[in-house]
Chains A and B, each alone.
Chain A
Amino acid sequence: MFVIKGVSASPGVAIGPAVLLPTADFAVTNQHVEAAEVKAEIAKFNRALEKTLADLDESEKKLRQTLGGEYASLMSMHKMILQDPMLKDAAISKIKNERMSAQAAIFHTLQELAASFDKIEDKFFKERRNDIFDVGKRMVGNLQGDKGQFWDSIRRPSVLIARDLFPSDTMNLQENQIIGFCTDLGGKTSHTAILAQSLKLPAVVGLSNAARQVKDGDTVIVDGENGLLIISPDKYTLARYKKTQREIKKAESLLQTINHLPTVTADGRSFKLMVNFDPRTDTKENKKLITDGLGLLRTEFLYMNIPQPPTELEQYQIYLATAKKFDMRPVTIRLADLGADKLPDFPLDEFDKDNNPFMGCRGIRLFLKNPELMHIQLRAIVRTACEVPAQIKVMIPMVSSVEEVRHVRAALNEVLAEFEKQGKKPVNRIALGAMIEVPAAAIALDGMIGEMDFLSIGTNDLIQYLIAVDRVNPDVAHMYDPCHPAVVRTIRQIIQTAHQRGRQVSICGEIASDVRMVPMLLGLEVDTLSVPPRMFLRIKNRIRNLNFEACSDTAQAALLASSSEEIRKLIETQSQDEDS
């Protein structure tokens, strides 16, 4: 038995034989053709081109229905690349003049093209290199039929192990017997993760070298709950996971029955439970959830994969469609937290200078240096607020001083004045609040809170900054610890300060959807938890089965604890008490 730790991308447990996706490199089987075969080879090339175009058409249609416009437009980009004379003419000339096979011609043409793209300094252009190879893979696959053969060869429910998944692979996941997957690359918010969640497949990503350690046919367990890949599990482990699998299945069906019930603890203390909504993965099931509102709309995705910032109209259309789904409930829109690990493709000077991006120009800092970007986003938000009954809340990311909040307040007032000149006013007053994720803001909150209508704790970054740990650095990532006494005490301090001034606090980081941490957060008297839709019913169920008084005791004891170990034990003890 062998266990590899990765990042959980989609929950659930899958058990089955492993199949390894052939690597992204091309397997060009025959290199040359005889002079007499050149004509036939060119015809073969053209047929493969037609077939690939038809495949892309098909994928574009399907993706538009399942995953939405963003993935679909990637396919139309791929179609243009495929029809590009630079690819077509160069490949045909290689068949004609150098008597290469169609496969070899495509391979060499793509390599030349990729090499020219590698020379470009600009990140956006460089990334297009992957698109070119994805198109090439499809086409070579159509020439030799091996990729098709790969998918066809899967005859029983299997776990897919891959270095990385390309958009062209995604359709096959749905159509073949894939019950879960693992990739070496990718993070929690990569397109692979988003895809896994929307397909409801258990998935673990970021395993670094799993693809080399698993053999075809090995029995593997994908533990999407804890981000583990278990290779050749022993009898005991296998039995334990089969039990977990049954429990998850049972729990899932049970969960549907509590959707319409209020979010109250067993002893009657009520909390608000909202969702971190992502318009890109709005599935049918998510639509059925009865929530207290939208706790966090991340807007960075609007700025990604496009060569220029989104216009007011583009943003407004998405905010409007989103806000309408929540009718009269609150809709919290976070101003784009660009920078650090979320770098858009369009150039901004600030990104070039950042040697230490998490400490650098990100979130509100970037917006204050590029007031036009903020102005456009605020206009799109205000425009939405003028048309919907939902209470629109604007959340500022990465706040570290009261001046930053005042700047945004002034910018918002300016936008409101612009709309008022045209006779337009928001249906409800727009609330302005901050995401508390910089320790300075947590510590000096009492001086800043007068400027805020509400606040939300961004635990992911707060923990990272409090413990001074870069989660991406494998040497220190294990030190990232939500149970650190400093984390618990800081959350407590934020909530106390806010409550003294009559402000509500929500928590929207990963910690809020961790069933083990929920009792602690309730005990610290948070008002609202905001969780991803897929975790919504699970967390609701957890809250309904908790005893607030016991949570309070756990929290009080945790505030006095001197180590993470102690806090973890406290949490476990409470869980055991409740299970018994």
Chain B
Amino acid sequence: MITQEIKITNRLGLHARPAAMVAQTAANFDCDIKIAKDRVEINAKSIMGVMMLAAEYGSTLRLSFNGKDEKEACSAITRLFTDNFNEEY
């Protein structure tokens, strides 16, 4: 299992489009992917779950990956965040 802390750096936070990107990317991997914020933990493969986090700019998320393709999944999901979901802001 890999765990990773990540900070939201895109100005508008984890809104619908980034949430959709996270869920779509996560669905490409077999491993379990969970995202936690404060006391809420959700399945990253669920668009509704990711949206429910309502993660705003500056908040910190805990990502965990568990399964045989966990390494690849971790780098793919982390990249979305570090690229600010390709947003200009």
Residue ranges of A at the interface with B (Cβ–Cβ < 8 Å):
77, 80-81, 84-87, 113, 116-117, 120-122, 124-125, 128, 132, 306-309, 311, 345-347
Contact = CB atoms under 8 A, between A and B. Distances in A.
Given A125-B51, A128-B51, A132-B48, A84 B23 contact: yes
29 contacts: A77-B16, A77-B20, A80-B20, A80-B24, A81-B47, A81-B48, A84-B46, A85-B45, A85-B46, A86-B42, A86-B46, A86-B48, A86-B49, A117-B48, A117-B52, A121-B54, A122-B54, A128-B16, A128-B51, A132-B48, A307-B12, A307-B18, A308-B11, A308-B89, A309-B89, A311-B88, A345-B15, A346-B15, A347-B12
B15 A307 contact: yes
Contact of A87 (B12, B15, B48, B54): B48
A386 to B, nearest CB: 21
Most-contacted residue by chain B among A77, A84, A121, A311 (CB, 10 A): A84
B12 A116 contact: no
Contacts of B24: 80
Given A77-B16, A124-B16, 9 more contacts: A80-B23, A81-B47, A84-B46, A113-B48, A128-B16, A128-B51, A308-B15, A308-B17, A309-B89
A84 B47 CA distance: 6
Contacts of B54: 120-122, 125
9 closest A-B pairs by beta carbon, nearest first, are A307-B15, A86-B46, A308-B12, A84-B46, A80-B47, A120-B54, A86-B48, A84-B48, A85-B46
Nearest to B51: A125
B87 interface: yes
A39 to B, nearest CB: 25
B78 interface: no
Nearest to B88: A311
B12 to A, nearest CB: 5
A347 B24 CA distance: 25
Interface in B13-38: 15-18, 20, 23-24
B52 A120 contact: yes
A313 B87 CA distance: 12
Contact of B12 (A86, A121, A346): A346
Kindly name the residue among A80, A121, A124 whose own CB sees the greatest number of chain B CB atoms within 10 A.
Answer: A80
A121 B13 CA distance: 14
A128 to B, nearest CB: 6
A74 to B, nearest CB: 11
Nearest to A116: B52
A377 B83 CA distance: 24
B43 interface: yes
Nearest to B47: A80
A311 B89 CA distance: 9
A306 B20 CA distance: 13
A521 to B, nearest CB: 43
Contact of A85 (B18, B43, B52, B89): B43
B18 to A, nearest CB: 8
Interface string B41-66: 01101111101101000000000000
Contacts of A306: 17
